[in-house]
Amino acid sequence: MFRDDTNQILKGLKQSPLRQFDQEVGQIPGIVKLTLGEPNFSTPAHIKMAAISAIAANESHYTPIAGLPELREAAANYYNQKFNLNYTAENTLVTVGATEGVSASFQALLQPGDSVIVPTPIYPLYLPLIKLQHATPILVDTSADDFVLTPERLQTVLDQHRQDHVKAIVLNAPSNPTGIAYTRSEMQALAAILKQEQLWVLSDEIYAELTYGQKHTSMGELLPEQTIVINGLSKSHAMTGWRLGFAFAPKDLMAEMLKAHQYMVTMPTTFVQYAAIEAMKHGQNDCAPMVKIYQRRRDYVREHLQQLGFEVARPNGAFYVFAKIPASFKGDSWEFARQLAYDQKVAVIAGAAFGPGGERYIRISYAASDEALAQACRGIAKLMQHTQQQ
Ligand code: PLP
């Protein structure tokens, strides 16, 4: 028998509620799943060919810990050009998906007793990683401000927590789960406040290329000395399973992140790094056709939900609609998600899974086929009809 002396923080963490629910409802025959943030496009052919060529050329050895120099340089150029940044290869770490970049950042930054400001609702990755560093998340519910962290609320939170060793703030725009992309002026207003603070900004910009009707503004442009930018190929190039991301940070911090990265993963898979070189050098336009299709799907889902009485948060980024369940449904967001799954065979995620402010909402991923979305809208309409008849 094992002695019960395992990591108590880890023990206290639950499996991600998203994945748990996704697995649970995956057992329902014929279910339409709009649960995970998973592009339903194939990885562009030129990237797949680069991976195949790399394998054939025996690119199967260790690379430098920070990643192939050619990839670091190509990635810095790619994001510099797209988002007006000013990074070099030395500011660039090649990570195992965006997830590892977030993890390495927190390992480099946080000490026991530190706090991190986390606006909610938010993707449930950051809180467990903060807690694993023996640090404390300070949750800031943004629902009263239409899910945008306003400069006023940020200032209030900073002032309230002067004694709490606030080391960093997490920003995720475009946002999972709300689909909100911040405007340039919203980002500038936050940057102006953060510039006055001794604070790191962990800016998860994995959806930066998925914006509709506006261009993404990076915190790495506005506050380069204080920001770690997280990005990667999962969403922009439909490469979730390849596990390839990037972290961009000032050089001193990068040296610390590199150590965390080395002892966690050593490096991402070598032939995947070669495929990523191809994506960074020749895949600048790969995302554009996907964005067009996502935008059409976004419009479709938004219109249908609004007709059914849902209020929809401004969905101008990522591939999520965050919709407020009409008052005629009396249960909470998990009950809604369960009824929708079991009675109508449509799976969405309950807003409560994303922390304070998410209750009464559902998150719908429209990274799915037109057919699936039509079926989902019909299922939601039926559930609402039943609700009104009760
Ligand atoms: N960050 C956000 C905001 C996400 O929504 C996701 C995935 O859904 C990730 C990070 C994880 O990205 P990756 O698959 O590249 O690790």
Output the CA torsion sign for 221, 224, 226, 230.
positive
pLDDT for position 15: 84
- 203 ligand 1 Cβ < 6 A: no
Chain segment 275-323, per-residue pLDDT in tens: 999 999 999 999 999 999 999 999 999 999 999 999 998 899 999 999 9
* 172 Cα nearest atom in ligand 1: 3
The fold of the 8-42+287-385 domain, in CATH, is Aspartate Aminotransferase, domain 1 (3.90.1150)
Is the predicted pLDDT of residue 26 greater than 60, yes or no? yes
Question: pLDDT at residue 390 above 80?
Answer: no
Is 140 or 6 the better-scoring residue by pLDDT? 140
- Collapsing DSSP to helix, strand or coil, 308 comes out as coil
Mutate to test the pocket of ligand 1, among 106, 235, 239 (most ligand atoms within 8 A of CB): 235
Q: Which atom of ligand 1 is nearest to the CA of 36?
A: 8
Are 312 and 269 spatial neighbours (Cβ–Cβ below 8 Å)?
no
Q: Please give the number of the atom of ligand 1 that sits closest to the Cα of 37.
A: 8
Is-contact 351 114, C-beta < 8 A?
no
pLDDT at 164: 96
What was the pLDDT predicted at 1?
A: 57
Return residue ranges of the chain for CATH 3.40.640.10.
45-282
Q: What is the DSSP string of 182-250?
A: PPHHHHHHHHHHHTTSS-EEEEE-TTTT-BSSS----HHHH-TTTEEEEEEHHHHTT-GGG--EEEE--
> pLDDT tier at 5 (50, 70, 90 boundaries)?
confident
Cα dihedral: 352, 356, 357, 363 (round 10) = -30
The DSSP output letter for 144 is G
Cβ 240 under 6 angstroms from ligand 1:
yes
**H/E segment holding residue 170:** strand 166-171
The answer on pLDDT for 135 being more than 90 is yes
Angle at alpha carbon of residue 74, lines to 69 and 80, rounded to 5° = 125
What residue's CA is closest to ligand 1, atom 5? 176
- Average pLDDT of the segment spanning 26-51: 95
Burial level of 57, CB count in 10 A (0-12/13-18/19+)? exposed
Rounded average pLDDT over 224-234:
98
* Strands 115-120 and 136-141, sheet pairing: parallel
Does residue 204 have its Cβ closer than 6 Å to ligand 1?
Answer: yes
Domain boundaries for CATH 3.90.1150.10 within the chain: 8-42+287-385
Q: May I ask the CATH class of domain 45-282?
A: alpha beta
The pLDDT of residue 388 is above 90 = no
What is the rounded average pLDDT of the residues 142-151?
97
From the CA of 232, give the closest atom in ligand 1: 15
Q: What percent of the chain has pLDDT over 90?
A: 93
pLDDT score for 236? 98
Pocket test for ligand 1, best of 203, 234, 354 (most atoms within 8 A of CB): 234
Q: Write the pLDDT tens digit of every residue in 163-205.
A: 999 999 999 999 999 999 999 999 999 999 999 999 999 999 9
pLDDT computed for residue 2 by the predictor: 62
Q: For residue 235, which atom of ligand 1 is closest to its CA?
A: 15
Q: Cα(41) to centroid of ligand 1, in Å?
A: 16
Q: Which atom of ligand 1 is nearest to the CA of 96?
A: 16
C-beta of 205 in contact with ligand 1 (< 6 A): no
Q: What is the pLDDT of residue 37?
A: 87
206 lines ligand 1 (CB under 6 A): yes
Average pLDDT, the chain: 96
Query: Which of 129, 172, 176 most suits a substitution to test ligand 1, by most atoms within 8 Å of the C-beta?
Result: 176
Give the Å distance between the CA of 231 and the centre of ligand 1.
Answer: 9
Q: How far is the CA of 11 from the centre of ligand 1 (A)?
A: 23
Q: Does 245 sit in the ligand 1 pocket, CB within 6 Å?
A: yes
* pTM score: 0.97
Taking only the tens place, the pLDDT of each residue in 96-108 is: 999 999 999 999 9
The pLDDT value given to residue 259: 98
Q: Quick check: CB of 172 below 6 Å from ligand 1?
A: yes
Q: Using an 8 Å Cβ cutoff, are 129 and 109 in contact? A: no
Local confidence band at 16 (pLDDT 50, 70, 90 cut-offs) = confident
- Ligand 1, residue 234: give the atom nearest the CA: 15
Tell me the angle at which helices 97-109 and 251-264 cross, rounded to the nearest 10 degrees. Answer: 110
Checking if the pLDDT of 3 tops 80, the result is no
Q: How far is the CA of 2 from the centre of ligand 1 (A)?
A: 34
From the alpha carbon of 100, which atom of ligand 1 is closest? Answer: 16
Distance CA 205, CA 215 (A): 12
Whether 86 has a pLDDT exceeding 90, the answer reads yes
Which pLDDT belongs to residue 52?
98
